[in-house]
Amino acid sequence: MDNIAVEWNRTGYFIKEGFFLHKKYILNDLDLSVPKGTCLGLVGPNGAGKTTIIKLGVGLIKPSQGSVNINGKSSYLADSRKSVGFLSENQYVYPHLKLFEWLEMLGKLSGVPENRIKSEVDRVLQLVELGNKASEKLKILSKGQTQRAGLAQALMNSPSILFLDEPMSGLDPVWRYKFKEILLGLKSQGVTIIFSSHIISDILNLSDKIAYIESGSLKWYGRINEMRWKNKKYQAVFYSDSFADVLKKEIEYIKLEKNPDKSWLIVMDTSKKEQFFDLVLKNNSKIELFSPVYIELEAFFGENLF
């Protein structure tokens, strides 16, 4: 297990509410591991438990059951967090501090040696292109600039593991692209990244694997290509009206449409492929095109998980 950066082992988290203090589970029996140098994307509806997973990972809260480990040590131990950087969804900044003062303070708290504080501040500000805002008070910064400053503080201790909760919230299109490029650069250097997002394109562009969370439970986990192959459909194009009539009669649950050029388009599940070709041979039909169709991530979650 030396190659595992973060691991949730049968992890559960609950709160007690009401007069009788009934348990309300926020996270149920989560088993999940993230290899070093990879990126895990957390996706799911609001209130699914994604933020709780991240808070458990960085040790802000303690699991009610099971465990969470960072490089083999409990994430709740201060020692395990030395290699971790964290950007929360709703980060708190000290509005009357200047940006460089805030970064210096957080750098010291995260264990950056005194003689390296200034150079680290300069490094992270250059990375997020906020060097010209170093002497500005945090209350002056825009939402997007504050988000970039948040990434800067998360990188002050040169972490090997990075937790990001909705990291691109509030960024304009240019900085959404730059932010992703920064994260891809960090991953290429061996940094492990765990992040949540509602933006499917961000998940696709950054993640090695995806964990879909709903109602506090892990509903699906795997590589994007595994999901697409598992849920692959096929399409075929042909011109025979009589063959179209045969397909309507013989094959259930297919999508069959006539195009403006009078050709027919059929879309079918993988399970229908063999039956389709049996009918092609039996009716001596000519097929102009036959190719796979990969389901989009939104459609996969909508059709299979909701």
pTM reported for the whole predicted model: 0.78
Q: What angle do CA 13, 1, 8 make, to 5 degrees?
A: 10
Q: Where are the domains of the chain?
A: 4-228, 231-304
* CATH 3.30.70.120 at 231-304, yes or no: yes
The model's pLDDT over 5-44, given as tens digits with 9 standing for 90+, comes to: 999 999 999 988 887 778 888 999 999 999 999 999 999 8
Minimum mean pLDDT range among 140-154, 184-198, 203-217: 203-217
- pLDDT bracket for residue 305 (50, 70, 90): very low
Buried b (16+ CB within 10 A) or exposed e, 126-164: ebbebeebeeebbeebeebbbbbbbbbbbbbbebbbbbb
Query: What integer pLDDT is reported at residue 130 of this predicted model?
Result: 97
3.40.630.10, 3.30.479.30, 3.40.50.300, 2.40.50.140: which CATH number matches 4-228? Answer: 3.40.50.300
Under the banding of pLDDT at 50, 70 and 90, the label for residue 199 is confident
**pLDDT at residue 147 above 80?**
yes
Give backbone dihedrals phi and psi of 233, rounded to 5 degrees, phi first: -115, 170
> Which has the minimum average pLDDT: 53-57, 136-140, 270-274, 296-300?
296-300
Name 18's bridge partners: none
18-22, 109-113, 165-169, 209-213: the lowest-pLDDT one: 18-22
Residue located via tokens 């250059």? 126
Q: What is the mean pLDDT of residues 162-180?
A: 93
pLDDT at 306 exceeding the cut of 50: no
Antiparallel, parallel or unpaired: β 233-238 and 84-87: unpaired
* Mean residue pLDDT across the chain: 89
pLDDT tens digits, residue range 246-294?
999 998 878 888 888 888 888 888 788 899 999 999 999 999 888 877 6
- 169 Rama sector, left if φ>0, alpha if ψ -120 to 50, beta otherwise: beta
